Structure 1
Amino acid sequence: MLKILGRSSSINVRKVLWACAELGIEYQREDWGNGFKSTHSPEFLALNPNAMVPVIQDEDFVLWESNTIIRYLARAYRGESLYPAAPKIRAGIDRWIDWQAADLNPAWSYVFSALVRHNPEHPDPERIKAAAASWADKMSILEGQLKATGAFVAGPAFTLADIPIGLSVNRWFSTPLQRPDLPAVSAYYERLSLRPAFIAHGRNGQP
């Protein structure tokens, strides 16, 4: 059985849990990370030298990096409906998965850490203001894409790209800051909320 190493409150672990729920994959999960078993232990570092969750073990195969994991799961567990093999369709999905990691995540990192995690290392109000503006700029890009598709981030159907993007949208609405009116993003959030897997692993009270 697939084994997932990582605490369920981690946004990156939740990507994997949500993907498993969508794909009907049975798994066992072990708590690792903040407040649980240390990811800096030799046992964990042998699996992931970055000391970060999630890690999966699929029989004798070990994999880390959450977006890589969900792509692997879709390919290994008959997830063609979420991650079609057609090169142009798959590229469109990959584009938004990579955008979430490379552009959207860095935009919210400082402000989320300051306003939700109350990290004492992120006290600068000017940086919080600048980060909030940067985050809003990136969300306006998502707004434009969702207006164009009228449904999900990569097109009319739910795909693998909606998992990392959906979790970031949940974080957007969970952070106490002034947000611009983005009606397509709001409608998308409600559309995702019709999916039981998103309620379980996304819109579940955890930012």
Structure 2
Amino acid sequence: MLKIMGKASSINVRKVLWTCAEIGLPFEREDWGAGFRSTGEPEYLRLNPNGLVPVIKDGDFVLWESNTICRYLCGRHERHDLLPTAPQARAQVEKWMDWQAGELNNSWRYAFMALVRDSPQHRNAADLEAGLANWVKHTAILERHLQNGSDYVSGNTFTLADVVLGLSVNRWFMTPMKRPDYPAVAAYYERLSQRAGFIEHGRNGLP
């Protein structure tokens, strides 16, 4: 059985859990990360030298990097509805997945650490203001894209891009801050919330 190593509250672990829910894939999960077993332990670092969650074990195969894990699971189980095989359709999905990991997530990092984690290293008022502005700027990109009338980011079909972006949108709405009114993003969030896997793993179990 697939083994997922990482605590269930981690945004990157939750991507993988939601992907498994969409596939209908059974798994075992072990708690690793802050508050649980340390990812700095030699046992974990042998699997992922970055010391980050999640890691999966699929038989003898070990893999890290959450978006790559999600792609792998869809390919392994031939879920071409979630990750198309046609080059252009797949590129559209992967474009948004890469944007989520490389651009959107980095835009909210400082604000999240300051406002949710109350991190002592993230208490500079100017940096927080800049971080919030950057987060708003990137969420506005998603807002404008969703205003084209499509239900999901790659068109009218739910894909893996919506799994990874859905976790980031959840963070946008769950962080205690003043935010602009982005009606297309809000409607998108509610569409995602019709999916049982998102309720369980994306919205922290909150309907």
Instruction: Verify same fold: TM over 0.5.
Output: yes
Q: Please, what is the CA RMSD of the aligned residues?
A: 1.0
Distance 2:205 2:172 in 1: 13
Q: How does 1:1-207 map to 2 (within 5 A)?
A: 1-204=1-204
Distance 2:112 2:40 in 1: 24
**3-state SS in 1 of match to 2:62:** strand
Distance 2:21 2:205 in 1: 18
Identity within the alignment, %: 58
> What letter corresponds to residue 141 of structure 1 in structure 2?
I
Q: How many Å apart are 1:37 and its aligned residue? A: 1.1
Change (3 A) 1:136 1:205: farther
For structure 2, which runs of at least 5 residues remain unmatched after alignment?
none
**3-state SS in 2 of match to 1:63:** strand
Q: How many Å apart are 1:84 and its aligned residue? A: 0.9
Q: How many Å apart are 1:33 and its aligned residue? A: 0.8
TM-score normalised over the length of structure 2 = 0.97
Distance 2:52 2:186 in 1: 31
Counting matched residue pairs gives 206
Structure 1 segments, 4+ long, off by >6 Å, are: none
Distance 2:204 2:62 in 1: 28
Q: How many Å apart are 1:177 and its aligned residue? A: 1.1
Tell me if structure 1 keeps the 8 A contact 2:23–2:74.
yes
For structure 1, which runs of at least 5 residues remain unmatched after alignment?
none
Show CA shifts across 1:122-149 (max 9, x none): 0011111111111001001000111114
TM-score normalised over the length of structure 1 = 0.97
Distance 1:118 1:174 in 2: 15
**3-state SS in 1 of match to 2:187:** helix
Show CA shifts across 1:153-183 (max 9, x none): 1111110001110000000001111111100
Show CA shifts across 1:82-138 (max 9, x none): 011000000000000000011101110000100011001000111111111110010
**3-state SS in 2 of match to 1:135:** helix
> What letter corresponds to residue 158 of structure 2 in structure 1?
F
